[in-house]
Structures are given as C-alpha cells and as structure tokens.
Structure 1
C-alpha cells in the first residue's frame, strides 16, 4: 500500500521543482540571449529590446566572423591541440598510473604523497612562466601539450581502475612470456576503455576550453587557439579595433557587439553540442573505483 504524502512533503516538492525551474532558466537564458542576438542584424540590435527571438534575422554576423583571417586558423590550432593533447595525456598518465598501481613499487607511498601535495599547492604563475621560458616553449605549439601531459587527479582515477583488474590476467600474460610493456599495451589498456574514455573526455574539454595558455605564453597569432581568439574579441572595447578586422562588404550591417555574439556562438557550439552525448562518461568516470565490479 502506497504511503500517503503529507501536505508538507507536497509543498516541498512544489517548492523544489519551482526552484529548479528558476535555476534552469538562469542557466539557459544567457546562452539563448547570445544566440538570438548573434542571428539578429547588428544595426537593428543596437536599438535594444531583443530578448526572445531575432527581430531582423540575419547571417551577416557569422559571415563577418568566418571572413576574419584569424578564426579558421585558431579553430585548426584548437582541434590539433585537443586531439594531440588528449592522446599524449591519456597514454602518459596511464603509464605512470600503471606503475603506481603495482604493489612492489619502491617508494610508492612517498610518490603518492608528493603528488597529492601538488593537487593543492602550485608554484604560481611567475615561476611557471619562467620555467616555460627556460624550456623554450614560448610561442611554441608544445606549450599546449607538454605542461598538460600529466594530471595527478587523472592518475588517481586510472590507478584505482587498474587495481581492480584481476591479477590473473597479468599472471597469465607473464606465463606466456609477456614483459611489462606487453602487459600494459596488450592486456591492461584494452580492458581499460571505460576509464580511458572518461579521462579523454575530461582532458578534451579542458583543452578545448583553455584560453589562458594562449593569452600568457603565445604572442604569435597563428598559434592562438579559438578560445584565446574569443577572449581577445570580447576584450576589445573599441568599435574601430573590431571593425578593422571585418571585410568592407559586411561592415555596414554588423557592429562590434554583434560580432562578439557571433564569435561566442562559433567558438562554444562544438563543445556544447558534443557534451550532452558524452555526459554519462563524466558521471561514470567520477564513480570509477568507488565500488567493486
């Protein structure tokens, strides 16, 4: 027999649902506002009053963005650093995590303690900049890859998963004559696809959204990623600076503000479309290692 809900429980459910609707609206509406203004004529948008739907529908803002000389180069850099960065990060972190997961590792507890400290304390921006400079990685594509090769947080997820792999798999491989490299590449990695997919998504989102690296370490515009390009577009407060990048054929119908809106849409759309389909891997990744089986 179903238990009858009290008035207090019913009121709480109504209040909770209403509160969640408000939170969803406050989260979604700013994105919708940017999208609506991106598809509205720039000159018309200056009049204001556009909140729910474009008043004068136009693609001119996006035409101006794609005709800009830097955005396609920036998009290519972002795609390249995301793909390469994810592959190297996953492989390198998995290698270190596999070594940490072995019970016979000499000094393993000390290494874990040292790594845990780095999760809470960093060297700071200036020492990091000086290190990058001494390594000759300023204005270099490698600055996106090498500093991000390793993450101790990701190592913990990998290590916890590796420890749950049955010892019998490795023992059987050793009987067949496999060494540590063969076991790692041919036995451990193939059965670790769930955690590999999770870490790849973690790092892929980080690489795509990272703008700070391009702002601090890159002066060459041909090496700046799309998020750094967006940052500079939004940061430009002068209309003259903005319109100097726009071809003359469309400058009459767009404004600096409308180009900012369109640029935001272009730079964020790929990850916004992909993320909902991959969100379950993020949730699963946070649960990996919490239970057996």
Structure 2
C-alpha cells in the first residue's frame, strides 16, 4: 500500500478542520433558531448565546399551530409551491423541447427573443398595470401564472434535452410516435434528474416568495407563510398572533414565537431535500459533459 507523505497528511488535516469550521458556521444559525424556539422565554432573555437549552418547552409551537392565520398561510404556501412548481416545470419543458429541433422555423429568433428577457424588463409600474388589467390583484394566480417561465431554467433544460441521444426519437418515429408521444413517454422520463433539480429551485423560490404577495395581495387571508413571517419579523405586527385583546402571553412568547414560525417555514423545504438528493448531483452537472 502506498504510504501518504507528511505533507499529504497535513493537507488532509487542514482540509478536515476547514470543512468542519464551514459546517459549524453554516449550521449554527439554524441551530440557534431551533434552540430559541424550544426554550422558555425566561431562559432566552438571560443571554444571546445558547448552545443547548437547559429546559425544553414546546409552548411556542403549540401557540403557533393554534393560530388560524399562520396555519392558513401554511396551506396557502403549500398550494402555491406545489401547483406553481408543476406548472412552471411543464411550461419550461414544453418551451425548451421545440428549441432543440433544427427544423423549427424561426428557432434562433425565438430563442434570442426569450434570452432578451433575461437582460431587459418593462419595469415595476408596467408590470403592476399588466397584472391589474389581467384581474390578478388579490388572487393567488398572481403567484403562479406570471412566473410561468424562467429563462435560465429553460436554457438549462434545453441543454439537457440536447444530450439525449437523437436515435431514441428516430426509432420512436419509425414506430409511429408523434412529438407529443415522444415528449411525454421518452424525453420527460429521461430528464428526471434535470426536472427534479429545477423543480427544487422553483419550489424553494415559490416557498420563500414574499415580494409578489407584498405587491399584489392586499387580503391577508391570501398571504403565504413567507409574507406572514416577514410581517412578524420586520413589522412586528402583533395582530397576527393576537387572539383577542392584548395579553402578556404574547409579549412573553414574542421571541420564541418568531423562532418557531421560522422553523415552521423552513422544515417543509428541508423535508423535500432527501427525496431530491439522488437526482441533485446529476442534475447540477447538466451540460458539463456532452454525450
């Protein structure tokens, strides 16, 4: 067995120490919020640094899940994320697939027209007027329909489609399959790594989207969880957690409630990652190796 040199051992040790430090720096904010959400309020105000709670208290989570506003916003976020991700993936795939066909009339012009939107936009005021004229103000559709196509995701998916052997399509055509049959029966099943990766990016973006509802959703019943969380953390709007008249319980649980809401907003997306992980590594390498 080949022995490792002293310089190699030193490099390995330094590399391990560096990666451990990066892991600690990355995970500590998450751990700090988690600990802050399960410790009693009296303990949380004693010091700003808590590695482990002396007492575990789930009262903040009970308080959060008992509030209709937060639970309703959680359901809104789930609906917008699932429907929006499926819708955007389908539109992106349907747009990317024809653009790999050399015989598509005006293919280059269409592609350049789509790429143009990556660098130039109409601005916020024309965009708002467009949404208003489409009657999507105060509608959940405003978080789904306008975000139908991401140019970047389309280009990535187009590159992946180009790596699929064209012989598969040619043999399917010889068997009498049309473009729609080829697309749904061959192209999409072979593109699961790319679709899973892009779908994850879309889902995270939809889940964390607070800017769109801030502009277009005046009805608080339609607010997603990200918007409610923003209102709690930034505006400190205690009406969101007030069950009636102001009571001291809300003050005593203020910080722990905020931490609990943050955890509730983060955990659903974290749960999704293990199911996407097996496709993620292959998906992020899209276009790096040509077949």
Q: Which residue of 2 aligns with 1:270?
A: 268
Aligned residues: 291
Displacement of 1:142 after TM fit?
0.7
Q: Alpha carbons of 1:281 and 1:185: their partners in 2 closer, same or farther (altered >3 Å)?
A: closer
Unpaired segments ≥5 residues, structure 2: none
Q: Alpha carbons of 1:16 and 1:189: their partners in 2 closer, same or farther (altered >3 Å)?
A: closer
Q: How does 1:241-252 map to 2 (within 5 A)?
A: 241=239, 244-245=242-243, 251=249
Q: Which residue of 1 aligns with 2:235?
A: 236
Q: Which residue of 2 aligns with 1:20?
A: 19
Show CA shifts across 1:29-72 (max 9, x none).
Answer: 11111111100112432233551122332111111111112111
Q: Alpha carbons of 1:69 and 1:234: their partners in 2 closer, same or farther (altered >3 Å)?
A: same
Q: Which residue of 1 aligns with 2:132?
A: 133
Indicate if the aligned counterparts of 2:192 and 2:279 stay in contact, CA closer than 8 A.
Answer: no
Q: How does 1:193-208 map to 2 (within 5 A)?
A: 193-208=192-207
* RMSD between superposed Cα atoms in Å: 2.6
Q: Alpha carbons of 1:277 and 1:184: their partners in 2 closer, same or farther (altered >3 Å)?
A: closer
Displacement of 1:159 after TM fit?
1.4
Unpaired segments ≥5 residues, structure 1: none
Q: Which residue of 1 aligns with 2:112?
A: 113
TM-score (norm 2): 0.88
CA distance in 1, matches of 2:43, 2:3: 58
Displacement of 1:274 after TM fit?
2.6
Q: Alpha carbons of 1:41 and 1:242: their partners in 2 closer, same or farther (altered >3 Å)?
A: farther
Indicate if the aligned counterparts of 2:160 and 2:194 stay in contact, CA closer than 8 A.
Answer: yes
Q: How does 1:29-108 map to 2 (within 5 A)?
A: 29-48=28-47, 51-108=50-107
TM-score (norm 1): 0.87
Q: Which residue of 1 aligns with 2:182?
A: 183
Indicate if the aligned counterparts of 1:60 and 1:253 stay in contact, CA closer than 8 A.
Answer: no
CA distance in 2, matches of 1:49, 1:83: 37
Indicate if the aligned counterparts of 2:85 and 2:202 stay in contact, CA closer than 8 A.
Answer: yes
CA distance in 2, matches of 1:241, 1:182: 53
CA distance in 2, matches of 1:129, 1:51: 45
Displacement of 1:120 after TM fit?
3.5
